[in-house]
Chains A and B, each alone.
Chain A
Amino acid sequence: GAVVSQHPSRVICKSGTSVKIECRSLDFQATTMFWYRQFPKQSLMLMATSNEGSKATYEQGVEKDKFLINHASLTLSTLTVTSAHPEDSSFYICSARDMGQRTYEQYFGPGTRLTVT
């Protein structure tokens, strides 16, 4: 149980284009999903918290117009990197919180490697 899928696993796009990444909880409902970014040799950094049916909460320094998050259902959140630039190249990973767990446990997708040329 508690499987989270993420698609695509790898994407290469040209500068100026937009890329959408999907995160799905496959066997549980997730009212809250998290989007992280990892820079080389750094820890997972929280970008935003995605809430079903409401606006995402962005961490300080993360541009909400650049990283659009939509949590349209209890099993799907999407992250769209708009007008991508080479500095947006990174590893993006989502997680979903099982609201039945009281210890903040999160289940992760496998991540998306974005390369902007």
Chain B
Amino acid sequence: ILNVEQSPQSLHVQEGDSTNFTCSFPSSNFYALHWYRWETAKSPEALFVMTLNGDEKKKGRISATLNTKEGYSYLYIKGSQPEDSATYLCAFPDYGGSQGNLIFGKGTKLSVKP
């Protein structure tokens, strides 16, 4: 059974702080890793799909890196703002599953205080 681990489970930061959190996944048979942002009462929103070892992707103040050999990805938020408060999920394709389902981590819940 594939296991996707995220840490920390929750994080409280002040506005302006930079922060980062981790997603660990099986390093064998890598294909892609997904990051989603899930704000309360909204749909999870795709942030990044990462496919290459050493990849670094950026969207505004949020960036992510990928290490497929050791099986981890970091998500960084520079200068956190209250609107960044959300649960950040990472997900890994389940190759044993049918038609492309994803296995999700439990998420990191980020709270940014003004």
Are the C-beta atoms of A105 and B46 separated by less than 8 Å? yes
The residue on A at minimum CB distance from B10 is A41
Main secondary structure of the interface of A (DSSP, over half): strand
Question: How many A-B pairs with Cβ below 8 Å?
Answer: 63
**Contacting pair A43 B104 (CB below 8 A):** yes
9-residue interface stretch from B11-19, B58-66, B68-76, B91-99: B91-99
0/1 interface trace, chain A 35-71, chain B, CB 8 Å (1 if under): 0100001111010010100000100000000000000
Chain B interface mostly helix, strand, loop or mixed? loop
Q: Mark A85-107, 1 if CB is under 8 A from B, else 0.
A: 00000000101010000011111
Q: How many residues of A contact B (CB 8 A)?
A: 26
Of residues 97 through 114 on chain B, the ones whose CB sits less than 8 Å from some CB of chain A are 97-107
